[in-house]
Amino acid sequence: MLAKRIIPCLDIKNGRTVKGVNFVDLRDAGDPVALAQYYADSGADELVFLDISATEERRKTLAKLVYHVAEKVNIPFTVGGGISSIEDVDILLHNGADKVSINSSAIRNPNLIDDLVAKFGSQCIVVAIDAKIINDHWKVHLMGGKVATELDLFDWSKEAEERGAGEILFTSMDHDGTKDGFANEALARLSATLNIPIIASGGAGKVQDFIDTFKEGKADAALAASVFHFKEIAIADLKKILKQNGIAVRL
């Protein structure tokens, strides 16, 4: 049985880590490089960095951040935010990222997934999907959740897999920052539909939420932010409890 992964997520805005609720009301959560080192030392399996700010210098700033993180941590990390070309990915991987996450750019140009997989391999390409329930259907959103599309979560996830994506990072916008648990029903359906790993995101608030998303949601990894940033849950303690509940984790 493959070990389940615990992944802290660092949303980056203007070089700082921030966290909000339902994608808004952001507050500062610390220096991303220092947090990355802390998580690597605390037993995190991987890290995800999402640049949510859009400045003209974003690419240079993000590349520099990736370089400094790679200097400090010895666990895999994924970088996303505004990535739309082979050149963007090449810069980030060259600076030390292990994977990249694409979202809006893949929706606008699905062939980007094929192109990146052909150039860098499936193992490097994560397709992130932000979705919320509209009229009883999970609808995919663009631009950090600001723009609704007609794309269905499950159809788009399957297409991303068929185009070669190595993983799906699914964030439930309805659950994001609420600490009321993950979208386990949708996650379980995704798990039944796809053959690639699924990272659950949005809703972590207590240890039981992680147990539930692995057992009920069938997620391969669980991503969280505020409960780790503000030290509400310690990763080492979380992993011990997961193991006690029969969930395979790396201690």
CA angle, 66 as apex, 37 and 227 as ends, to 5°?
Answer: 45
> Taking 90 as the threshold, does the pLDDT of residue 51 lie above it?
no
Q: What is the C-alpha separation between 202 and 84, in angstroms, rounded?
A: 24
pLDDT of residue 30: 72
Per-residue DSSP letters for 46-107? -EEEEE----TTHHHHHHHHHHHHHHH--S-EEEESS--SHHHHHHHHHTT-SEEEE-HHHH
CA distances from 248 to 81, 196, 215, 241 (A): 31, 18, 11, 11
Tokens encoding 120: 């860098």
Task: Give the residue-averaged pLDDT of 214-226.
Answer: 96
List, in sequence order, every beta strand (DSSP E) within the chain.
5-13, 16-21, 24-30, 47-51, 77-80, 99-102, 125-134, 137-142, 147-152, 167-172, 198-201, 221-224
Lookup result for tokens 């509209």: 134
> Taking 70 as the threshold, does the pLDDT of residue 21 lie above it?
no
- 168 versus 54: the higher-pLDDT residue is 168
Amino acid at 122: S
Q: What is the C-alpha separation between 190 and 150, in angstroms, rounded?
A: 18
Q: In 10 A of CB 63, how many CB atoms?
A: 17
Length of the chain: 251
Which residues, including other chains, have CB under 8 Å from residue 31's CB and lie 6 or more apart? 16, 17
> Taking 90 as the threshold, does the pLDDT of residue 14 lie above it?
no
Q: Nearest CA to 79 among 120, 50, 45, 46?
A: 50
Could you tell me the domains of the chain? 5-244 (3.20.20.70)
> Taking 60 as the threshold, does the pLDDT of residue 182 lie above it?
yes
> What's the whole-model pTM score?
0.93
pLDDT of residue 230: 85
> Taking 60 as the threshold, does the pLDDT of residue 24 lie above it?
no
Q: What does DSSP assign to residue 219? A: -
Q: What is the C-alpha separation between 165 and 128, in angstroms, rounded?
A: 10
> Taking 80 as the threshold, does the pLDDT of residue 1 lie above it?
no
Residue 170, classed as helix, strand or coil, is strand
pLDDT of residue 20: 56
pLDDT of residue 23: 46
The residues that are catalytic are 11, 130
Q: What is the C-alpha separation between 41 and 164, in angstroms, rounded?
A: 32
> Taking 90 as the threshold, does the pLDDT of residue 29 lie above it?
no
pLDDT of residue 110: 98
Query: Per-residue pLDDT tens for 55-78?
Result: 445 666 688 999 999 999 999 999
What residues does 17 pair with on adjacent strands?
Answer: 12, 30
Task: Give the residue-averaged pLDDT of 190-199.
Answer: 98
